[in-house]
Structure 1
Amino acid sequence: MRRKLIAAVGVAALVTGAAACGSGDSAASKNPKERDETLTVWLMVDAQSTWPELVKDVNAQFKKKYPKVTVKVQYQQWADKAKKLDTALGGDKFPDVVELGNTETMTYILGGALAEIDPKKYDNSDTWIQGLKDTCAFEGKQYCVPYYAGARVAVYNAEMFRKATGSDTLPQSEDALLKAADKVRDAYGAKDKRFSSLYLPGRYWYAAMSYVAAYGGRIAEYDEGSEEWKATLSTPEAQQGIAHFIDLVKRYNKGDQTKDEQDHANVMANEKAALLYGNGWEAGSVIDGKANGNPKLKGKIRTAGMPGPNGKALPSFIGGSDLAVVSKSQVQDLGEEWISLFTSEKSQEVLASKDILPNNTRQLEPLKRKASTAPIANAVPDAWFTPIAPGWTAIEKEEVLEVMLLDILKGSSVADATKKADRKINELINQGS
């Protein structure tokens, strides 16, 4: 598919010709022990909280080769990272290496903010998970390195299901699952009117779009003739999936239906929910006392594949992060080498040991047979992804999908709300931020 290169107004302006040249040959040709530059790395806070030893080890490896180079790792929050990065790229204090969510990369690629990389310099690049690799590619060139993958699964309280249904195994069909959820609701909801046997927040667009994918719908499709993306949420298939999601929210969510999924692990930790649809690692968050979890639930929280409609598993969003070198950086070669160490086979083993999905299918295979990771690892091959379009970041920033879902929960018809969303998506999707 050939995508039209549309100038990303704003991000494109952040990169000037002179600054985009990166590190010169003179710096790269120096003796490594004589290099005395500073390398600034922006990582998301996940690395600080969940695999800090990996960051420490990679920095130690890097320091051994470049003893005079200072590596500054600065941890960022997802909520304001994009805004901070745009501001930084517009000035003279910007990171050399940046972690990007895989839905963010295309805007920065089209805007010229990311330097081209050579996949051959990175371990297992021939088996990078396609859903991550695609988010880093444009017109045959690669602009970032897959870091780790994620997929959503059922996270459930096995004890609650066992007491209510007689089985602590999650049913494999949606019909059977909903019958079990009804029993759990009857068993626990009578005492607590805010208890949700299935907790699906109304603004949880990742879940809603999984149901859209289950019915064969899409958020948008690329038109080869016009070389433009066109929204498709108002198609019958997409509308059917959205209606299915809304029905589940109304039927089972006894909490605040207008919330998003950011605190749903805490809802389960507080024993206000028996089942949620989330990232596999959120099972750990439910019981982690340091993360507002409930250690008393240890051994009771499990993951499983989430059953979907039509007798099939619910398609999962292929989430994850990528790492890129900023094109304005004067130490691009150092950035590339740091990323190479941080995404090496050895480093990916550290992530896999923490039940985080690695960036390649070769190291993913063993996780498909490991009890704690099998549900999430097996969800990767059939996962869906957001449109790899220049305006997707703008669509997320304006919360177009969340607004659509709230409109329906407040009384708008699915038909009216999806048509409204399509108009807004078409306004934004082919334009850079």
Structure 2
Amino acid sequence: MRFPKIAAVPAVVLLAAACGGGGGGGGADPAGAPDSLTVWVMGTAQDPLVEYFDGIEKRYQETYPDTTVEVEFVPWEDAQESITNAMAGGDAPDVLEVGNDQTSNWAQQGALLALDEHIADWGATGDLDQGALEYGQYDGAQYGIPWFAGVRTLYYRSDWLSDMDMEPPATWDELVEVSTAIEEEQGVPGFAAPTDFTNGIASFIWSNGGEIATQEGGEWQGQLTSAEAKEAVEFYAGLTSEEEISPQSYVGENELVPLADMANGELGMYIDGSWAMGQMEEQAEDPALLEEISAAPMPGAEGIAPAFAGGSALTVFSTTEYPEHATELLKVMGDKEGGKGYADAAGYFPAYPELLNDPAYQEDPVKAAGAQQMEHTEFFPATPRWNAADQDQAILPSAVLEIVQGGDVDEVMEQANKDLTETLNEEVE
């Protein structure tokens, strides 16, 4: 999963030295601690995040009082170039945030340090989401520690549904029914089904019992030609081409376009993450309208659809001169206190399932929907080649686009499955 892509120049925040009592775990010798450690965080330097890192530094300095923490916020769109340059000998961090679906890619390229020996006695790993923890592995070694989680849910106009005496849809049939009713009553599209939206499309496939790809005999095999996957993709594409509840203006677009429409009363429902409310605040011409927007778990074929368990992982950069001290900083950022603190500051969920019972995630309707959705998640293929298949080739979005434009489902999905299988099995250089 990703932070919202907000254009900004990277900013370095040198947090003031502080002392206190309690600490970073003491797994490395304080006498050998560096003067500073550098953390690269993806996104922009928003005040709650800067405040979070001020607290992280104070906690770390309880054990390593002479070490300052320098935090550089790197826009997501600059991450690839920044990490590549660091690998080539440029400025590099000690601790690095990466998207959880990017961990194996950077591990394979040698950018990340294997953490196994450094976290062997760290008790927090047993309480982390074990699926997310496993997703941070590559070639049998642990390279990433789940930092926070993010899932997508269904946003809807609660006032419109209340006026029609309807509940948010929980199934595909209800999605069509409610969307149609919204358009008839409000004169705006009932639902958005953008085609450049792998995360949303995948949820439809998973909810119908389908898979993207599976490992068989040590090789990846695409599963896009299964009856379940084809039916799901045909349904998703048909929301535009057949049911016509999603307008043509979303064809070829991602979820950022319907976000603006949702924020301004021009759309009834769409799928996005918990972070979207902050973006809608920036887009809304009338902020009062946002009070009418609520959320529910995503509707599936017969019930709640699984969502991609997005989020980020904390890693240690392979070139750090202080691997033990960097790992101790990772632990402070990624333990229950640090993980929940960042999730709250950034609008996500902690990577510790037990913390989802916190009233803060149950009393707010939008957060409650996300917390419920967190109980229904899936992961994309854990291979460095997934990024090539999705980000570079856009195999699944391209197939949906072609079907919306009239392509034969069987033929399109056959070719997409062939491309996916070949790409996932290409030799990693």
Q: TM-score, normalised by structure 1?
A: 0.83
Cα offset, 1:133, TM superposition: 0.6
Distance 1:352 1:107, change over 3 A: closer
Instruction: Please name the residue that 1:328 is paired with.
Output: 319
Out of 366, 377, 387, the position equivalent to 2:381 is 387
The question of whether the paired residues in 2 share the 8 Å contact of 1:123 and 1:340 is answered with no
Instruction: Please name the residue that 2:294 is paired with.
Output: 302
Instruction: Please name the residue that 1:419 is paired with.
Output: 414
Following superposition of structure 1 onto structure 2, how do residues 210-225 of structure 1 map, counting pairs within 5 Å?
Answer: 210-224=203-217
Following superposition of structure 1 onto structure 2, how do residues 189-204 of structure 1 map, counting pairs within 5 Å?
Answer: 189=187, 195-204=188-197
Out of 349, 353, 361, the position equivalent to 1:357 is 349
Rounded to whole Å, the distance in 2 between the matches of 1:140 and 1:338 is 23
Out of 398, 403, 406, the position equivalent to 1:403 is 398
Cα offset, 1:376, TM superposition: 1.4
Percent identity of equivalent pairs: 24
Out of 106, 109, 121, the position equivalent to 2:107 is 109
Q: TM-score, normalised by structure 2?
A: 0.84
Rounded to whole Å, the distance in 1 between the matches of 2:285 and 2:304 is 28
Rounded to whole Å, the distance in 2 between the matches of 1:404 and 1:200 is 14
Map Cα deviations across residues 146-186 of structure 1 (whole Å, 9 max, x no partner): 100111111111122233x134x424343233222211101
In the TM superposition, structure 1's runs of 4+ consecutive aligned residues that sit over 6 Å from their partners are: none
Rounded to whole Å, the distance in 1 between the matches of 2:156 and 2:255 is 15
Q: SS of the residue aligned with 2:349?
A: coil
Following superposition of structure 1 onto structure 2, how do residues 24-423 of structure 1 map, counting pairs within 5 Å?
Answer: 29=29, 31=31, 35-45=33-43, 48=46, 51-63=49-61, 65-117=63-115, 118-120=118-120, 122=122, 124-138=124-138, 140-163=140-163, 165-167=164-166, 169-189=167-187, 195-224=188-217, 227-250=218-241, 251-254=244-247, 255-286=249-280, 288-289=281-282, 294-309=286-301, 311-351=302-342, 353=344, 356-366=348-358, 369-372=362-365, 373-398=367-392, 399-423=394-418
Distance 1:393 1:293, change over 3 A: farther
The question of whether the paired residues in 2 share the 8 Å contact of 1:128 and 1:361 is answered with yes
Q: SS of the residue aligned with 1:299?
A: helix
Cα offset, 1:371, TM superposition: 4.2
Distance 1:79 1:181, change over 3 A: same
Cα offset, 1:212, TM superposition: 0.9
| Amino acid of the structure 2 residue aligned with 1:343 | G
Cα offset, 1:123, TM superposition: 5.9
Rounded to whole Å, the distance in 1 between the matches of 2:401 and 2:39 is 37
Instruction: Please name the residue that 2:12 is paired with.
Output: none
Distance 1:366 1:46, change over 3 A: farther
Rounded to whole Å, the distance in 1 between the matches of 2:103 and 2:379 is 13
Cα offset, 1:72, TM superposition: 2.3
Distance 1:62 1:293, change over 3 A: farther
The question of whether the paired residues in 1 share the 8 Å contact of 2:153 and 2:274 is answered with yes
Rounded to whole Å, the distance in 1 between the matches of 2:155 and 2:305 is 13
| Amino acid of the structure 2 residue aligned with 1:374 | A
Count of residues in Structure 1 that have an aligned counterpart in Structure 2: 392
| Amino acid of the structure 1 residue aligned with 2:56 | V
